[in-house]
Structure 1
Amino acid sequence: MFGGPLSSIALMLKASHRQIMMVGGLIAAASAIASSFAPNIETLIFTYGILVGGSLAVNYFAVNVTLGQYFLKKRALALGIATSGRGFGTFLLNYLSTKVISFYGMRGTFLILGGLFLNLTVYGALCRPLKPVIKQSPNISQNEQTSVNEMAGATNLGFEEEENKETRDEKCDDSNRRISEDIEPLPKVLRVRKSITSERVPSEIYNRKCNYYNATIFKNKYFYLLLAIYTTLAVGESFKLYVPLYAVSVGLSQEKGALIMSIHGIVGIVSVLLVGFMADIMHIPTSHLLMAASLSTSLGSILVPFCESIETLTLCAAINSIGTNFTISLRIVLISAILGRESIATAYGILSTLTGTLYIIYPSINGFVYEATQQFSVVFYFNAAITFLGSVLSCGIIYAQKTGKFVE
């Protein structure tokens, strides 16, 4: 999660998302291969823990922002499909890695992982910049429309940062990111009729640098509310740490505790696909899905102290997994809805840093709670109360969406 600020800094230094993913893949592959020659655990902490982890973190951030900018329609469904790969990877690669270690040994496994990470450079290369498609306006001729499309196509839109002499003096408008009035007038073909204003080349073409750092997000009160909600939801990650321990404390074996968490992961795969279907196909408001996800996360935690069998604990894990994975998939969708597509990179970087920090803090707090009470039930009640607070705060997001405060 700390990869967000690193990617944002790279973007501000004129790197593109495509370049970030390709370079990140190369560094991850080289670091994994270097790990196969590590003489001690201290070296592995640096080569695999920091270098590989940091490279994958940067890629994780860049690919989420790329998806958010690629899709205007069916964005939630697209993010859900992409996020499901994380669940499949967790479910399959943990098992395969164990088999690979037993056959090739630890050093051979690091070499194979390095080869897998090289594929990230290929995936990054496929994330090509988007070209805008200008809709046909009934008020202009076909030749004029063709000229507009050609001009739009000649300008790079999406993730590449290129200097353009005609746009050096352009400014980012605080309210709607439009071109400021003090720049050179638009070419004649774009000034054919005032009626094509809404149809012409998107302002992102002229304001590409605004896509990478957008200070106007700090003026949006609903963005702060979204940060507060995800501050409470971050405690849900502790569920995966304490359920296996609680299972052992009530007499179940460690293998059964691990099985419960495997089912938690499988349900997560289905959940990220389901939330996209509900948002984009069934057209359920994303703000309502956020509240439902918060309540599901809270319910999954508060029921655990009443469960002592593998069946009931698995049910609690499934309920918690649905809520947790819903909220993960909705991050980019809600950011783009509240702030607009051009603010995804900056806002998601801030949200990633916040949640990454809380993923460190909350387990420690839960540890102190358990040490003070010696009861796992208090830990789960504490987590349920925090996440329930998130569902209460989500009422503000529902209000914003119903009253038309969302940008998208």
Structure 2
Amino acid sequence: MRFIDRNIDRHWAWIIVASSFFAHLICFGVAWTTGVFNAIFLEEFRESRVVTSWAGSLMPACMFIAGPLSSFLISRLGCRVTMMLGGVTSTCGFVLSCFAPNITVLYFTFGIITGLSFGAAHLAAITAVTFYFDKFRNVATGVAVTGVGVGTLIFPPLIRALVDVYSWRGAMLLLGAVSLNLCVCGALIRPVDRPELKKSQTSLDPTMFRKLDFWMLCMNNFLVCFGLSITYLHLTAYAENRGVDFERSALLVSGIGISNLVGRLAMGMIAQQQGVDTILLYLISFLVSGVAVACMAALGTFAGLLVMALLFGIFTAGIGTLSAPILADILGIHRFTGGYGFLSIVSGLGQMVGGPVAGLMYDQTRTYVWSFLVGGISMCLSSMFMIVPFRRMRSISNIQTTEEKYVFDSGQNVAMVTGDETITMHPSTA
């Protein structure tokens, strides 16, 4: 009989959280600040906004589209090797970007290679935390993904400083050196022994597609990422278009990073409280953030944009902090990796089309007003899709409260039966 790893919710599990924190800092710190590079590429290559937008939007899009490949790698190689592989290949992507002669080459090096590499490292990071935690999963996930907020805070001014001193090509080389630290993060991840992970040996369990709640979460993520892509990629250029200087325009993205950091910690702690409905909190967060993006379309001052950017940062924390625990609740821990991989494809599609659609709308109308209105509306609509999981999961929770029980097998091991999950524990730890 095999028992649950003693590190679950304690001991080395918190080292995994630290590793995941720095992995998120690097991956999303760069991916969510591609709007800074977007402004640089516009000036360097003199292409239209829709053409230039693809270079920036491909990176976060490929991060998510890499989901199935990352799931396969994790199921075969484990989280440790997958993250280290992502660190090596992302460095290669940045080094190749340094020598890009035109924007088209950057599509491949900066967008696709680096994006896919970050996707592998990111999925390994969030999967490791999910596997290592049960009781404190919301808090652990919240702490781990605060790396996104910290990264979004420090990378915009860092990238701008590197470009000023070393040019954008030199900055690419230095970012490659930074991304190599993902290998260090991966080295800290130890394999975890969990019996329920043996239920599914494949990286993609087809039974998850029978769940309506899973499809609703997929639609939610597509619309959320569509709006996120518009905001992150075009906010700097939009502010400059409104007369805000470049330095303060870049600070708007840093403002999102600060508020997102606070939001991720707060949502992780709030979701951990007894009686708090995680899906309801998630639903409300994107309703508010969608309104904030739509309001940006009517604001032209730095102060007004900064207020909306701060609100946007706080409430968009939900997708990083709450989506993984919600997915684990919907599919079960044994289908998490495959489910997260497929969810990443849907998210990546939203990321891929959001930025270029906004750029195309600007090229046609010569204003970002309609772009940000569309982005805000898409995020508000994303909340509506979560009404179905909210109602269904609440009903299931009420049923499980009455059915949950403890049973003993022939070896006197305690097994807690809840829904379709069975967790076996030694009597000394039950």
TM-score range, shorter chain: 0.7 to 0.9
The corresponding residue for 2:217 is 226
Q: Distance in 2 between matches of 1:39 and 1:391?
A: 40
Moved more, 95-104 or 253-262: 95-104
User: What is the aligned counterpart of 1:70 among 107, 132, 137?
Assistant: 132
How much does 1:109 deviate? Answer: 5.4
1:237-256 paired onto structure 2 within 5 Å: 237=228, 238-256=230-248
Moved more, 41-50 or 91-100: 41-50
Residues 301 and 381, structure 1, Cα contact 8 Å, conserved in 2: yes
Letter of the 1:9 partner, please give it: F
The corresponding residue for 1:304 is 296
Residues 80 and 273, structure 1, Cα contact 8 Å, conserved in 2: yes
Say which SS state the counterpart of residue 280 (structure 2) adopts. Answer: helix
How much does 1:209 deviate? Answer: 1.0
The corresponding residue for 2:321 is 329
Q: Distance in 1 between matches of 2:162 and 2:305?
A: 31
Letter of the 2:89 partner, please give it: I
Say which SS state the counterpart of residue 396 (structure 2) adopts. Answer: coil
Q: Distance in 2 between matches of 1:290 and 1:124?
A: 29
The corresponding residue for 2:278 is 286
RMSD: 3.0
1:4-403 paired onto structure 2 within 5 Å: 4-11=67-74, 14-29=76-91, 32=94, 38=99, 40=101, 49-99=111-161, 112-131=174-193, 157=194, 202-204=195-197, 206-207=198-199, 209-210=201-202, 212-237=203-228, 238-281=230-273, 283-403=275-395
Q: Distance in 1 between matches of 2:368 and 2:171?
A: 37
TM-score by length of 1: 0.72
Residues 299 and 319, structure 1, Cα contact 8 Å, conserved in 2: no
TM-score by length of 2: 0.69
Letter of the 1:353 partner, please give it: I
Q: Distance in 2 between matches of 1:222 and 1:285?
A: 15
Letter of the 2:221 partner, please give it: Y
Identity over aligned residues, as a percent?
27
Q: Which runs of 5+ in 2 are unaligned?
A: 1-63, 401-418, 422-430
Q: Which runs of 5+ in 1 are unaligned?
A: 132-156, 158-201
User: What is the aligned counterpart of 1:3 among 66, 74, 90?
Assistant: 66
The corresponding residue for 1:404 is 396
Residues 236 and 324, structure 1, Cα contact 8 Å, conserved in 2: no
How much does 1:94 deviate? Answer: 4.0
Letter of the 1:10 partner, please give it: L
Q: Distance in 2 between matches of 1:121 and 1:218?
A: 34
Once the two structures are superposed, residues 55-88 of structure 1 have per-residue CA deviations (whole angstroms, 9 ceiling, x without a partner) of 2221111111221211112222212211111222
How much does 1:403 deviate? Answer: 0.4
Structure 2 CA distance for partners of 1:44 and 1:301, relative to 1, 3 Å: closer
Letter of the 2:357 partner, please give it: I
